[in-house]
Chain A
Amino acid sequence: MTVSFYGKWSLEVVANVNEFPQRLRITGSAASDGVVSGAVGTIVASIDGAAWKLSLERSEDGGVTWIENIENALPSVTPLDGWIVTVYGDDGIVLPVDADISVKLVYLNPVVNPPPYHPIYSFTLPPQDFRPPSPVRRECECCRPKICSCGQSRLPPRLSALTAVAAGRKLTHL
């Protein structure tokens, strides 16, 4: 069974165990119809079209004739590309990890798959800096921590510590 796609995608052959010669066939696209090599690393930067199909084909006679593989398309989300579909092809029904050929397609629709953001900040702390919680203290309105709306009463001593932080020293004994 061919796999249907809608809209604009990129394509990359990401695995091929070379059990058989492999190739890809694109049909119904706006301008990318044809046969593409099944070699790992083969890239088609953009395939567009209202509705187009991808089939993975193998040859068991050295390239004279080509047979469509059994295909298995699995959508997933990756931190780098967002919505992708990996199409696995094999001459039998196998788990994706055992497939003869794997092709990754990245959805290039910026509305439903905008480029994901890659946080440059790491919200981490060394394991030894996690401490057991303090004993639970019942709080009432009168003993809740007093918070000054201007912050002036507490900020000045802390601000002086910022220099230490900027210098890379640990924030202790402030």
Chain B
Amino acid sequence: MPIPQMLFAPWTRKHDKPGFPQIPLAASVMFPQSLQDLIEICANRAPGQRLHAAGSHWALSPAAISDHTFIETHDPNNFFPAMGRTLYNVVPACLSDKFLTHLDAATSIPSLTEAPTYFWHFESGKRIFQLYAELDEGDAANPNSLAALMTSRFGNSRFNGSWAFSTLGGAGGQTVVGALSTGTHGGDFDRPPIADAVVALHIVADGGDHYWIERSNKDVPFTDEAKLHALFDGGPTKFHVIYNDDVLRAARIQVGRFGAVYSAVIKVEPQYGLQSELKNTTWEAVRGDIANPNSPLFIQPLHVASGPDIPQRFLQIAINPIPMNNGNSHIASITRHWRLPLNSVPPSPPAPLGFPPVNWSPFANPAGRPERVGDRLTQPLTAVDPLINAPRYAQAGVNIAFSPDESGRRSFNLFDAACADANFMDGVVSGIYTEIDNFLSSNSVAIGGGLAAAIASGLGPGIIALAPWLLLLLPFLALFLNSLRNDGSTVGQALNNLRQGLLSSSDPNQRAAGILIWRAIAAKVWESQNSEQTYAAISYAVMDAHNYTDISCAVNVRSTEVFFEATDPALIAFVDRLLQFEITQEFQSGFSVAGYISLRFCGQTDAAIGQEAFPRTVAVECSGLADEMGSTQFVDFAVALAQDPNIKGRLHWGQQNNSTQQQIEFRFGDAPFSSNPTDGLRIWRETLSLLTKNGALDGFSSAFTRHAGLEIVQPIVGTLVVSAPPSGSNPNCSLQWNCTDNPPGTIVSLDILSPSMAVTPHNGLPLAGTMTFVANESGPWIATLRLSLTRNGETRDAATALSIAGI
């Protein structure tokens, strides 16, 4: 059956501007349905037609862009079926007997089963919300599952329960493989990001060879290599099994360069609940505590009625970049999480306020389960929806964020509520209008209002001097409200109209008055979005805060994320400089960001080029709606700041990232003349070399990987032999070389050095060939084969030499 394919179709990412596809005419978009399809695509690629796998299209990075052909693992238009199966052919069918015995005995196996652990194998097109739904239901009822095997073989029913991701990012719409391949993380500072949950990856590389990659085989192998070969050998291309810690480290975050991931095995843990708390303060009040791991930011325990205190595991600091308090401070919303036993999570509110218990677990109804997963729509138990090749759940990936009061307004995205509720902005702007009106009438402002937040207590003329211009702006606000109610523009466009009217005046007095109003509105919006609250729910309902009903806000978004060590003073300076930039652009350009700065904390990753390189890493996300003039400038400034060598931030692979090879090597090692074998980028490139014949197979290279240096940079010498030496009276000497395992563009030369030190160079040679020279002088002749590869202005060489006796 032919692989579905579209030619010259537009290709776009989820967060791009609607109506303006990122790639107006993609040469080819393919929709594989199976491992065999992926192998066929990779084996039969035409020269020059490079490939790149795409999942949910959630990436904001140019790393998602293919030079030519996109391989869609989950069609975002839901027209072609996704590669979304849960697989049982390896887990449990190919697990080693020794491993199963250890699993039964609950013996701790380093890097595999430190805690109660289960393993889930799935295709690369499965989305996060789909997987957390399936994990929650568990698979004990499936006779092919690991749980069923443990029950039948060992009588062990410990795996029959409900399972969960140990951590997640803030949204569940990405494919799991897409999220882990780019280093996506959450705010759980006591554990590494999701990529570190990977136990095995099945990657199809350029040329069609496919690789099962696992950690080094120690005392207890996870899989049985013979069973793997029995399962996957015999196709048109070769199947390889690699048990190697460094290769797995490299493959965890490979940005699509190694090939197309067909499937992944991740470890998961028993389902749990999370207690979440949101408190508001200011950035200026908490920034001094960030470097101290024992500060109250990190060690606030949760007191429970019975049992010991529960330690905090999550921290997020979301900052409104638009200042308050006369520009002297910025509101910051602090979110903390604590892990709860699932049975401590309160039940979901009963109908009609809430949802009934789900049909697959009628006796357990923890808060968040009915709201974020819901009933299983495909029956019977082993049936799947053919479009996603998985069971479909009523609420998975379709609902607003879980909220204890059902408002859904707990996202730190500054304008998320505006997207969810058309009346929201109307209410806020109307309220500020009234506040200004009241101020002009009374010369006083109400404590707790947006205007009071924007100003500071102080003597002097202050905002009273701006009263005439505030008055002049009231009609504009009225016009804006009428427009908001009638013209149907997107939230970003409406905000841009508002900003333009308030901040664009050439009269500095009127602009100042407009800035005051703008800040008052921003303060009120933030306050509305981030009301202080505490609640508990099932794990995924707390971690996945995405509003899946939003159709207007989360488009045309600009976003980047910059990683620092938590103790690095450059972190605080980076945020302070961004906030200073916002103030400057408000006054100088009349621009302003419609977005947020968010700091999330996570543990160190094992991935070779993971951004989470420090025991406590901070990810600073800077995001804004691109329709709003000032957001793009703000995010671009954040990128430029992070890339500066004096600041040395690491950019997220999956968000705005135009890093150069030199910038990447400066951060991840393997710069020219570096000799550190433990450099993450060196380990990553060595793995790329292993999977691509040292870059000769460049089918998954892209403009992004070439620009960023995620390529083979070091040529390697293949063979150089004397195929016919001088003999008798025949001084002719023939040499043969083969260096075909090198990237296109590798330059080959051969120097012949005579015994009398005369050099004859031969340049511009092919990667493989033969050459004959006359060794007509007695003594040693030296033939030196040199390879040279230049990328982004950096040249690296390799050479080998032979000595031949002349006559």
Interface of A toward B, CB cutoff 8 Å = 5-7, 51, 74-77, 79, 82-83, 85, 107, 109, 111-114, 116-117, 119-127, 129-134, 144-145, 147-151, 154-155, 158-159, 161-162, 165-166, 170-172, 174
Contacts and interface: CB of A to CB of B under 8 A. Distances in A.
Interface in B422-465: 430, 433-434, 437, 440-449, 452, 454-464
A123 B459 contact: no
Given A121-B512, A123-B455, A144-B430, A162 B449 contact: no
Contacts of B645: 6-7, 51
B644 A123 contact: no
B458 A126 contact: yes
Contact of B456 (A124, A145, A159, A172): A124
Nearest to B511: A121
Contacts of A133: 446-449
B455 A124 contact: yes
B474 A131 contact: no
Contact of A82 (B449, B460, B516, B577): B577
Contacts of B433: 145, 147
Nearest to A152: B475
B640 A123 contact: no
A123 B280 CA distance: 22
A29 B299 CA distance: 45
B23 interface: no
A162 B570 CA distance: 48
Contacts of A131: 442, 444-447
B570 A75 contact: yes
Given A74-B569, A117-B584, A123-B516, A162 B462 contact: no
A145 B430 contact: yes
B458 to A, nearest CB: 3
B693 to A, nearest CB: 35
Given A74-B569, A129-B445, A132-B447, A124 B463 contact: yes
The 9 closest A-B pairs by CB, nearest first: A151-B475, A124-B458, A124-B462, A77-B576, A6-B645, A117-B584, A121-B512, A149-B482, A75-B573
A120 B580 CA distance: 15
Contacts of A158: 440, 471
A1 B23 CA distance: 49
B456 A123 contact: yes
A153 to B, nearest CB: 10
A76 B573 contact: yes
A170 B580 CA distance: 33
B573 A132 contact: no
A124 B644 contact: no
Nearest to B440: A171
Given A124-B462, A145-B434, A109 B644 contact: yes
Given A131-B445, A171-B440, A123 B463 contact: yes
B644 A6 contact: yes
A77 B467 contact: no
B457 A117 contact: no
Interface of B: 326-327, 430, 433-434, 437, 440-449, 452, 454-464, 466-468, 471, 474-475, 477-479, 481-482, 508, 512, 515-516, 519, 569-570, 572-573, 576-577, 580-581, 583-584, 587-588, 637, 640-641, 644-647
B580 A82 contact: yes
Contacts of B458: 122, 124-126
B630 to A, nearest CB: 14
A28 to B, nearest CB: 13
Nearest to B479: A149
A129 B438 CA distance: 12
Nearest to B646: A6
Contact of A130 (B434, B441, B452, B466): B452
Given A112-B641, A145-B434, A154 B482 contact: no
A5 B647 CA distance: 10
Contact of A174 (B326, B441, B460, B519): B441
A105 B646 CA distance: 12
A83 B474 contact: no
Contact of B471 (A123, A149, A162): A162
Contacts of A74: 569
B464 A171 contact: yes
Contacts of A76: 569, 572-573, 576
Given A119-B512, A131-B447, A147-B478, 8 more contacts: A77-B576, A122-B461, A124-B459, A124-B463, A125-B462, A126-B462, A133-B446, A145-B430
A151 B472 CA distance: 10
Contacts of B640: 111-112
A174 B456 CA distance: 24
Contacts of B434: 145
Contacts of A150: 475, 478
Given A77-B577, A83-B577, A117 B583 contact: yes
B478 A125 contact: no
A6 B663 CA distance: 13
Contacts of A123: 326-327, 454-456, 462-463, 516, 519
B696 to A, nearest CB: 34
A173 B641 CA distance: 50
A117 B587 contact: yes
Given A82-B580, A112-B644, A149-B479, A129 B326 contact: no
Contacts of B455: 123-125
A101 B481 CA distance: 58
Nearest to B483: A149
B457 A124 contact: yes
A51 B475 CA distance: 55
A165 B459 CA distance: 17
Contacts of B463: 122-125
A113 B481 CA distance: 37
B138 to A, nearest CB: 46
Contacts of A112: 637, 640-641, 644, 647
A129 B512 contact: no
Contacts of A154: 474
Contact of A116 (B452, B584, B646): B584
Contacts of B512: 119, 121
A166 B449 contact: no
A6 B326 CA distance: 34
A111 B645 CA distance: 13
Contacts of A85: 646
